[in-house]
C-alpha cells in the first residue's frame, strides 16, 4: 500500500491494489444517480461485516443537510439497529475505496484524526462530509469517473473480524423503451372494493401493475377522488433491488385522448414498490367525462436503470 497524504478535509489517503473486503458498489451511470439522489442520498444494499449489518450512503452532489457543496459525501450506516440489544455500541475501524480506472488501483480514504468510530443508538452513521472534490472526481485524468462509470467500496473491521460481502451493480439501460398498458374497467360506478389491481404487464423484463382506489386511498375516508398508482411487482427470488423509472398514468377516452394525465420520475425499491397519486382526479369530474360507465386507465413505463445484487466483482 502506498501512502499519499491527508488533506484539509481530514481525509487520509493511500493507494492499494487489493479489492475492498466487504462491499463493492459499481455505478454505471453516476449522472443518473446524481439526478435521482441529489438530496436524499443513495443507500447501497445491506452487507455484513463483523456480525453486524451495514450500508453505504452516497450523496453524489454533497450532503445538502450539512451545506456541503462541490464534494461527494459518503457515510457508513449501521442497519437493523432495532434488532440490537438495549444500550448497544460497537467500535469499528473502516475505510472507503474509490477505483482509479486508469491505474487499476484503489484510492483508500480514512479519517485522518480518529482511527476508530463508535456506533450507538444516537449515532447510526459516520463518514466523510467532504470525501472528494467533485472537480477532482470528474477529472478523467484521475480515473475515478470514466464514461460516467465509477466504483466505490468499503471495509469495516469489528473486533478484527473480516467477512466477504456482496456487490451491488447499478446498470443504465442504453436504449430504454417506453412500455404501455391499458386497463379497461367496465361498470365503473358499481366498483365497491377498496382497491383493484390490473393484470400484470412487463417492462424491461420486470412485472408491473396499475392499482386504483375507486374512492381514494386515505385514512380520512374521503371518497372525493380516484387514487391511481403504478406498482412494481417484485419477485421474491429476484436479485433486483431498485428500478429507476420515468412513468405516466392517465385516464383516456375511447379514442385514447387524455382526460387526466400525470407523470413522474421515481426509484422503485423493495421497501417502496408503489407510487402514484391519492388525488388523481375528482370523482365528480371523472363521472362527467366517462362514456358508458367505462374507465380506461393507461400506464406508460420507461425503465432507465436497474440495481442488482451480484456475485462479488461480477459487475
- 2-172 maps to CATH 2.60.210.10: yes
Average pLDDT over residues 94-107: 94
Q: What is the pLDDT at residue 38?
A: 60
Lowest mean pLDDT among 100-109, 166-175, 247-256, 305-314: 305-314
Examine the pLDDT at 122 and tell me if it is beyond 70. Answer: yes
Higher pLDDT, 90 or 198: 198
3-state secondary structure of 213: strand
Higher pLDDT, 149 or 315: 149
Average pLDDT over residues 285-303: 87
Phi-psi region of 87 (alpha: psi -120 to 50; beta: other; left: phi over 0): left
Q: What is the pLDDT at residue 161?
A: 35
Least Cα distance to 210 among 178, 251, 241, 238 occurs for 251
Q: What is the 3-state secondary structure (H, E, C) of 149-169?
A: EEEEEEEEEECCECCCCEEEE
Note whether 281 and 216 are within 8 A (CB).
no
Q: Where are the domains of the chain?
A: 2-172, 178-307
Examine the pLDDT at 4 and tell me if it is beyond 90. Answer: no
Categorize the per-residue pLDDT at 118 as very low, low, confident or very high, splitting at 50, 70 and 90. Answer: confident
Examine the pLDDT at 1 and tell me if it is beyond 70. Answer: no
Residues in CB range of 12: below 8 A, 6 or more apart: 5, 6, 109, 110, 111, 112
Judge if 2-172 and 178-307 fold alike in CATH terms. yes
Show the cell assigned to 205. Answer: 423484463
Q: Which CATH topology does 178-307 take?
A: 2.60.210
Mean pLDDT, the chain, whole residue set:
85
For the whole model, what pTM was predicted?
A: 0.57
Note whether 117 and 126 are within 8 A (CB).
yes
Q: What percentage of the chain exceeds 90 in pLDDT?
A: 50
Examine the pLDDT at 145 and tell me if it is beyond 80. Answer: yes
Amino acid at each position: 500500500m502506498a501512502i499519499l497524504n491527508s488533506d484539509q478535509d481530514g481525509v487520509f489517503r493511500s493507494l492499494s491494489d487489493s479489492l475492498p473486503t466487504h462491499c463493492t458498489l459499481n455505478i454505471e451511470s453516476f449522472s443518473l444517480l446524481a439526478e435521482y439522489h441529489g438530496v436524499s442520498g443513495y443507500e447501497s444494499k445491506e452487507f455484513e461485516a463483523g456480525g453486524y449489518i451495514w450500508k453505504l450512503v452516497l450523496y453524489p452532489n454533497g450532503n445538502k443537510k450539512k451545506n456541503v457543496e462541490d464534494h461527494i459525501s459518503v457515510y457508513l450506516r449501521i442497519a437493523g439497529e432495532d434488532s440490537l440489544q438495549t444500550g448497544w455500541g460497537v467500535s469499528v475501524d473502516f475505510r472507503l475505496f474509490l477505483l482509479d480506472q486508469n491505474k487499476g488501483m484503489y484510492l483508500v480514504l480514512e479519517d485522518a484524526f480518529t482511527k476508530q468510530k463508535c456506533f450507538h443508538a444516537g449515532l447510526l452513521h459516520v463518514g466523510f462530509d467532504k470525501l472528494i472534490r467533485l472537480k477532482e472526481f470528474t477529472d478523467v485524468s484521475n480515473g475515478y469517473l470514466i464514461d460516467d462509470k465509477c466504483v466505490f467500496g468499503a471495509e469495516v473491521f469489528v473486533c478484527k473480524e473480516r467477512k466477504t460481502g456482496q456487490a451491488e451493480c447499478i446498470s443504465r439501460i442504453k436504449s430504454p423503451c417506453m412500455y404501455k398498458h391499458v386497463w379497461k374497467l367496465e361498470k365503473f360506478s358499481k366498483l365497491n372494493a377498496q382497491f383493484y389491481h390490473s393484470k400484470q404487464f412487463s417492462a424491461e423484463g420486470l412485472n408491473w401493475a396499475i392499482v386504483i382506489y375507486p374512492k381514494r386511498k386515505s385514512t380520512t375516508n374521503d371518497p372525493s377522488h380516484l387514487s391511481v398508482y403504478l406498482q412494481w411487482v417484485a419477485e421474491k427470488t429476484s436479485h433486483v433491488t431498485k428500478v429507476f423509472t420515468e412513468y405516466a398514468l392517465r385516464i383516456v377516452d375511447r379514442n385514447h385522448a387524455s382526460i387526466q394525465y400525470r407523470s413522474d420520475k421515481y426509484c422503485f425499491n423493495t421497501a417502496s414498490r408503489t407510487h402514484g397519486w391519492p388525488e388523481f382526479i375528482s370523482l365528480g369530474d371523472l363521472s362527467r367525462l366517462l362514456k358508458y360507465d367505462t374507465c380506461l386507465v393507461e400506464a406508460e413505463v420507461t425503465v432507465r436503470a436497474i440495481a442488482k445484487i451480484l456475485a462479488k466483482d461480477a459487475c
